[in-house]
């Protein structure tokens, strides 16, 4: 009898394991600035749930357009509200699941060996700091969230006209960061967490929060999300995930 019981129990366990292994891998499209922290969160989620997660990181603009074109994604995490709004207006996300999961700050960075000192303030000497031929690296202001935040901040501070023609318009924030890290641009505007993750750059100063819209990361299930995607989105709101985000330098988003 005991032997029969053990056989039945083993069969049940095998069946459960096989069912879990058969679950489709979750696909998460996320802003490039979340690369490191979401990979850590993904490992933690898989360890606790057994659900595998794969990520596609790029500019929010590129990912939103891929989803619009039919790319299979279960979850979308944007670096700004505009691209989530873009998908919501096209009924490509589930609006009831939309929630901000993290916040960030905007910083001016230079190569780590740079001795430049510059205080961000209205009318500050950004153009002079770039030198006669230097360029400012950031995301493409026409589409990439960090570039849009940068343009808004520099416009509010009254210095955009002086440097608008000197922008290195990168396709995402990590590319913009790398231009500075490699010394190909004397200055760049990126998120605080990206600067923190790259030893080859240093923060020159932090932009006033009042100079640009709040930098918050909305996440939502896509319209075609698989049923088990809800668990991952719920995990991103858990204390464990928030601890991972906080360790990487992300702030908890403030409610309006």
pLDDT tens across 22-67, in order? Answer: 568 999 999 999 999 999 999 999 999 999 999 999 999 999 999 9
Same domain for 69 and 145: no
- Considering the domain architecture, whether residues 65 and 87 belong to the same structural domain is answered as yes
Q: Please check whether residue 211 lies inside any domain of the structure.
A: no
Buried b (16+ CB within 10 A) or exposed e, 34-71: bbbbbeebbebbeeebebebebebbbbbbbbbbbeeee
Judgement on whether residues 198 and 232 belong to the same structural domain of the protein? no
Q: Is 255 contained in some domain?
A: no
Within-domain flag for 27: yes
pLDDT at residue 225 is higher than 80: yes
Whether 198 maps to a domain, the answer reads yes
In the chain, beta strands by DSSP E: 26-31, 53-58, 75-77, 99-104, 106-111, 136-139, 167-170, 187-191, 201-206, 215-221
**Does one domain contain both 99 and 18?**
yes
Asked, for residue 160, whether it belongs to a domain, the answer is yes
The verdict on 81 and 7 lying in the same domain is yes
Contact 171, 132 (CB under 8 A): no
Do 120 and 158 fall within a single domain?
Answer: yes
Task: State which residues form the domain around 120.
Answer: 106-206
State how many domains the chain has.
Answer: 2
Residue 24: per-residue pLDDT:
82
**pLDDT bracket for residue 13 (50, 70, 90):** very low
Same domain? For 99 and 220 the reply is: yes
35 with 86, same domain? yes
Whether 252 maps to a domain, the answer reads: no
- 6 pLDDT above the threshold of 70: no
Confidence grade of residue 255 (pLDDT, cut at 50, 70, 90): low
Distances (CA, A) of 6 to 2, 14, 15, 18: 6, 12, 14, 18
Does any domain span residue 254? no
Looking at the fold, whether 55 and 84 belong to one and the same domain comes out as yes
| Same domain as 220, residue 98 | yes
DSSP percent split of the chain into helix, strand, coil, nearest 5: 45, 20, 30
| Domain shared by 12 and 89, yes or no | yes
* pLDDT tens, residue by residue, 184-198: 999 999 999 999 999
115 belongs to a structural domain:
yes
Give 113-129 pLDDT, tens digit per residue.
Answer: 999 999 999 999 999 99
User: For position 20, which CATH number holds?
Assistant: 3.40.190.10
Average pLDDT over the chain, rounded to an integer = 91
Does 51 share its domain with 83?
yes
């Amino acid at each position: 009898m005991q032997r029969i019981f053990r056989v039945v129990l083993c069969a049940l366990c095998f069946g459960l394991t096989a069912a879990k292994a058969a679950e489709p891998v979750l696909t998460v499209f996320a802003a490039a600035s979340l690369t490191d922290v979401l990979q850590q969160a993904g490992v933690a989620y898989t360890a606790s749930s057994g659900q595998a997660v794969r990520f596609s990181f790029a500019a929010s603009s590129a990912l939103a357009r891929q989803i619009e074109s039919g790319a299979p994604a279960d979850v979308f995490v944007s670096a700004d509200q505009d691209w989530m709004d873009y998908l919501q207006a096209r009924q490509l996300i589930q609006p009831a699941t939309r929630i901000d999961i993290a916040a960030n700050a905007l910083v001016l960075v230079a190569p780590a060996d740079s001795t430049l000192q510059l205080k961000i303030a209205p009318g500050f000497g950004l153009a002079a700091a770039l030198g006669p031929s230097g360029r400012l690296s950031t995301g493409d202001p026409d589409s990439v969230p960090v570039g849009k935040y940068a343009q808004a901040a520099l416009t509010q501070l009254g210095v955009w006209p002086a440097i608008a023609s000197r922008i290195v318009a990168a396709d995402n924030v990590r590319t913009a960061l790398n231009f500075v890290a490699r010394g190909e641009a004397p200055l760049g505007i990126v998120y605080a967490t990206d600067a923190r993750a790259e030893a080859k750059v240093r923060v020159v100063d932090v932009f006033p929060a009042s100079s640009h819209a709040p930098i918050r990361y909305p996440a939502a299930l896509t319209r075609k999300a698989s049923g088990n995607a809800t668990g991952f989105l719920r995990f991103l709101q858990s204390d464990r995930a928030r601890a991972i985000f906080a360790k990487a330098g992300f702030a908890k988003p403030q409610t309006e």
